[in-house]
A and B are shown apart, each in its own frame.
Chain A
Amino acid sequence: MRYRRSDLFLSLVLLGALMLVLILVDTAVTNRIDQDARRERQAIVKALTITDLCLSTEARYTRHPSMADWHAPFQEHPLSLEHFPSGSMIAVPPHLGAR
């Protein structure tokens, strides 16, 4: 027996745990670094009265989901069959169902 199997397993677990710690550190560090950029973005949002993040430029209801009206998908197709790939990923905003 060159090595104990449990040693192998435990080292893998340790490695994994270490990487998770690194992940948490990376999160903290990146957030820190991003602070200035974030503030600039906030300023732009305020100045230009921006309402949406630019996640996809495919359809108006994926580019400005918060502004989308209930019928935006219907304008693309009478049965509002999804033919935009991004529409299958970006979900319907909750407030469209509320009223």
Chain B
Amino acid sequence: MNTSSLAKQRYILDYAFASLLRRKSKNIALGLVYSFLVFLISTVLFTATSLKHEASLTLEDAPEITVQRLVAGRQDLIPVAYADSISAIRGIQSVQPRLWGYYFDSLSGATYTVQASTDLAENSGETVIGAGVSRRYEPEKPARKISENDILPFKTHDGHVKNLVVKGFFPAHSELITADLILISETDFRTIFGIQPGYATDLVIKARNERELATIAAKIVQLHPDTRPILRNEIMRTYEAVFDWRSGLILLVLSGTLCAFAVLAWDKATGLSAEERKEIGILKAVGWDTSDVLYMKFWEGAAISMLSFFVGVIGAYFHTFIASLVLFEPILKGWTVLYPEFRLTPSVTVYQLTTLFILTVIPYTVTTIIPSWRAATIDPDSVMRS
């Protein structure tokens, strides 16, 4: 492209942008709606990618196989004895029973994940808690953080109260995995939840060779048809799909915005207004040819979509990674009182940005040019004849 055609494009851009500014309110409304659409799509994309990335890294050493027992389609306690027969399967290094469950604290309204750990001395009544737990509030008392040596009372399965002493906290930056976690000893767990010594919540398996996991899983099911093994890669895939665009609320909001946008695009597609057609007639009459007019329409569309792209994407980045998805918080928080506080680590790539750019700019620009085709080919003398 030589300098004169670049200069020509700049002039046409001058005219196109001035043309947009002349119909300020309409074009600002259009831009805002479109920016919002881009914002939503980008937020979903950024969140999903970052979570996927974070999960793949953080859960790298998650249990290779987790074995659950299903009774009448529901998860039930698993006999620890299963571990003996399972550990005999070739390729298995170790089988450990896991004790974990949920505890609803009526005082604070929070639901905690409670897990037994051999790191805590048996029957000690000691506990290590996550940052979200220590933030919990009690309705009568002002919000205060739990500190070391505070007592956490637990209602046991048989109506008694078991007091646990807080002896440690999970680090703040581990909230992504420990926010609601309460770690206690095995005996304390069984005391609170009333699970008999021969039973556990599930079993975790360490294998010698990662590639044999599927085979081992099949053998486990053969041995115990009432079990359901979950492989590590299935855990990973869960988080790849976690903020899928098909999830209800996101789909709803996206559809709504797409509809709004479709209405605006339809308005353009039904042809140019008489005023716009007259203007094109004037341009043709003073010496612009059809391609000049089409370039002008192209720049009109490209200008709005490019600016919307920037506003939407940059806004989405701020919203997702700096404001921690504050707009989605009510939905993610739902009816809970314990909400994990963490900053998602961004995982934005040039590829993502390029894809968003192409998806944002091209369809919109095309929507602007096509209905203008007819008007652009108007005869130059039309303005004289009318």
Contact = CB atoms under 8 A, between A and B. Distances in A.
Interface residues of A, number: 65
Nearest to A86: B334
Interface of A is mostly: helix
Interface string A7-38: 01110110111011001101100110010011
Interface residues of B, number: 94
Contacts of A92: 241
Contacts of A10: 13
Given A24-B348, A54-B179, A69 B74 contact: yes
A79 interface: no
B59 A89 contact: no
Contacts of B244: 91
A85 B330 contact: yes
B328 interface: yes
A13 B73 CA distance: 56
Interface of B: 10-11, 13-15, 17-18, 21, 51, 54-55, 57-63, 66, 68, 70, 73-75, 96, 98, 102, 110-113, 115, 117, 119, 130, 132, 170-171, 173-181, 183, 202, 204, 228, 230-231, 234-235, 237-244, 246-250, 303, 306-307, 309-310, 313-314, 317, 321, 328, 330-336, 338-340, 345-348, 350, 353
Instruction: Kindly list the 5 A-B residue pairs having the minimum CB-CB distance in the complex, ordered from nearest.
Output: A16-B310, A88-B248, A93-B238, A46-B61, A85-B334
23 contacts: A13-B307, A13-B310, A19-B314, A20-B313, A23-B314, A24-B348, A40-B173, A49-B98, A52-B235, A54-B130, A54-B179, A54-B180, A57-B132, A57-B180, A57-B339, A63-B180, A66-B235, A69-B228, A70-B73, A84-B335, A89-B250, A91-B242, A93-B237
